[in-house]
Amino acid sequence: MGIKYILLIVLIFAVILISLIIAKENEEDIPLDPVASFYDLSASLIDGQEVSMNSYKGKKILIVNVASKCGLTPQYSELEELYQKYSENLIVLGFPANDFLRQEPGSNKDISSFCSNNYSVTFPLFEKIKVKGSKKHQVYDWLSDSKKNGWNKKGPSWNFTKYLIDENGKLIKRFSPRTSPLSSEITSLIK
């Protein structure tokens, strides 16, 4: 065989290998049906009342880990605006967490007052939880475990990481902390 044939075989092999690698990377971003039901989970509201996620069935759900001393804290205003604008189709669930540079140091009462007084938050806020590590809350365990949610294995990378769940309890998208709640990237999936 000549050198041209050997180079052609190497080129074909490289193209196939690169295609397989790209397919494998993109595979994680394809939402699949969840293995475990999101609606079997529950959490405690900031006032201590236990709520089943089943009570949100039939609406899209935007789950956000929030913090009051973060550079992204002004997103509370955008989350509230999004919630008000799309309340017929959407519920926003805020989960305060102190997991990133201790940017949510307050008590549940402090957090509730802060959100009400500074951002007029009316969407459901939950008790302060862990969103990463071995003690993470069951909601975040589900959100970051592909064996449970069907495809995503990425937990929050910072405060205000967003997860969108459809009306049937299927995780459809994970958004970075910097993605504005009012971005077309999010609103186009809610309408």
Amino acid at 122: T
> Strands, DSSP E only, in 122-179?
162-165, 171-175
Q: 62 with 91: CB under 8 angstroms?
A: yes
CATH superfamily for 38-190 is: Glutaredoxin (3.40.30.10)
Out of 36, 45, 51, 70, which one is annotated catalytic? 70
**CA 5 vs CA 8, 14, 45, 67, 74: distances in Å:** 5, 14, 67, 60, 60
Which one is predicted more confidently, 109 or 5?
A: 109
CA atoms within 13 A on the CB side of 116: 9
Q: What is this structure's pTM?
A: 0.84
**pLDDT for 5:** 72
Structural domain spans, the chain: 1-30, 38-190
132: pLDDT confidence band, cut at 50, 70 and 90?
very high
CA nearest neighbour of 35 among 182, 148, 181, 132: 148
Cα–Cα dist 35/79, whole Å: 29
To the query of whether residue 70 is one of the catalytic residues in this protein, the response is yes
pLDDT in tens, 59-104: 999 999 999 999 999 999 999 999 999 999 999 999 999 999 999 9
Measured over the CA atoms of residue 16, residue 20, residue 22 and residue 26, the dihedral's sign is positive
pLDDT of 110 > 70? The answer is yes
CA nearest neighbour of 67 among 132, 2, 154, 133: 132
Share of the chain above pLDDT 70, in %: 87
CA angle 129, 140, 23 (to 5 degrees): 155
**pLDDT for 4:** 75
**pLDDT for 19:** 56
End-to-end CA distance of the chain: 60
